[in-house]
Amino acid sequence: MAAKHFLDLSAVSAHDLGGIMNDAMWRRAATKAGEADKPLTGKMLGMIFEKPSTRTRVSFDVAMRHLGGETLLMSATEMQLGRTETIGDTAKVLSRYVDAIMVRTTDHKRLLELAEHATVPVINGLTDDTHPCQILADIMTFEDHRGPVRGKTFAWTGDGNNVLHSFVEGAARFGYRMKIAVPLGSEPKYRFLNWARNQGASIMLCHDAENAVTEADCVITDTWVSMNSEDKAPGRNVLQPFQVNKQLMMRAKSNALFMHCLPAHRGQEVTDEVIDGPQSVVFDEAENRLHAQKSILAWCLGAI
């Protein structure tokens, strides 16, 4: 049987994503109740990082341990992969040692190549193009506070980056609307917009943060300069009108949530007043990474 990879929200059916979300809520309740939940006993997760990480690294590590499994952390610079070994050969070798591979990499093609050659499940822990694990945690967080996301409006303001691409795919899978404001030249890649719109998602793209945020149920932003995109980032003066501050939040619904995947650059894409304010749920998002990762691992390894 082919390995069950978790590569992107567009690559997993809405039915399976719904199952992962339900499982995450159930496992979170079980963890908080102190119930033993160890379906991955004896399993090993290999984690390859080609970029820095705090949340993804720690939440996958802790999730795997809670589920009874173990982890092996590999920094690409300390692997032969970081010298001359191919991704394909690396995938084949690691598949002989571990039961699943989580990778954070640069070019999305590297993720796809790893998955093509691995005989064990591969999980996308962020690429230059997407960050699907983050969006599951974010949807869980919204639903914890405000109920089902279907029909709700999520506004994105800032750079058109990997996290946004996965939010766009999520709109097609989970039924929320997206209103996106980015500077001219920082648009998300059109293949993500086209795919989601072809699936029936409602996605509005503009260059005016106030327009995007007006009457939104949730306001989302992310760093202005993503890892490995430093040379493409527009200047601060171009991005400043997309900052989430109190004035901008006042355009959204009065009960709108503020979300950010973290790490945040306070004073740039978001002010302290907003990220530390009553509408912010950024640390709930971070916590839900742990619960969502458990269910992604369980799904990949046949424990859902």
Q: Please give the positions annotated as active site.
A: 104, 131, 134, 222, 261, 289
The answer to whether 290 and 57 have CB atoms below 8 angstroms apart is no
Q: Does 56 bind ligand CP (CB under 6 A)?
A: yes
- Of 80, 141, 147, 94, give the one whose Cα is nearest residue 122: 94
Q: Which two tokens stand for residue 4?
A: 């069950």
Q: Which two tokens stand for residue 173?
A: 């899978």
The interface mask with ligand NVA, positions 101-130, x = CB under 6 A, is: -------------------------x----
Q: Does 54 bind ligand CP (CB under 6 A)?
A: yes
β partners of residue 49? 75, 104
Q: What is the torsional sign of CA 147, 152, 157, 159? A: positive
The footprint of ligand CP on residues 97-156 (CB under 6 A) is 126, 134
Q: Is 132 annotated as a binding residue?
A: yes
Q: Does 10 bind ligand NVA (CB under 6 A)?
A: no
Among 59, 223, 280, 293, which residue interacts with ligand NVA (rule: CB under 6 A)?
A: 223
β partners of residue 158? none
In angstroms, rounded to a whole number, what is the distance separating the alpha carbons of residues 113 and 166?
19
Q: Which two tokens stand for residue 38?
A: 């160890």
Q: Does 291 bind ligand CP (CB under 6 A)?
A: no
Q: Is 146 annotated as a binding residue?
A: no
Residue 54 binding result from ligand CP, ligand NVA, none, given CB thresholds of 5 to 8 Å by partner type:
ligand CP
In angstroms, rounded to a whole number, what is the distance separating the alpha carbons of residues 6 and 33?
28
Q: Is 133 annotated as a binding residue?
A: yes
Of 54 and 86, nearer to ligand CP (C-beta) is 54
Q: Does 279 bind ligand CP (CB under 6 A)?
A: no
- Of 84, 81, 83, 136, give the one whose Cα is nearest residue 103: 81
Of 157 and 161, nearer to ligand CP (C-beta) is 161
In angstroms, rounded to a whole number, what is the distance separating the alpha carbons of residues 204 and 213?
11
Q: What is the torsional sign of CA 239, 243, 247, 248? A: positive
Q: Is 289 annotated as a binding residue?
A: yes
Q: Does 73 bind ligand CP (CB under 6 A)?
A: no
Q: Does 165 bind ligand CP (CB under 6 A)?
A: no
Q: Is 211 annotated as a binding residue?
A: no
Binding residues for ligand CP, rule: CB under 6 A, are: 53-56, 126, 134, 261-263
- Rule CB under 6 A: which residues touch ligand NVA? 126, 161-163, 222-223, 226-227, 261
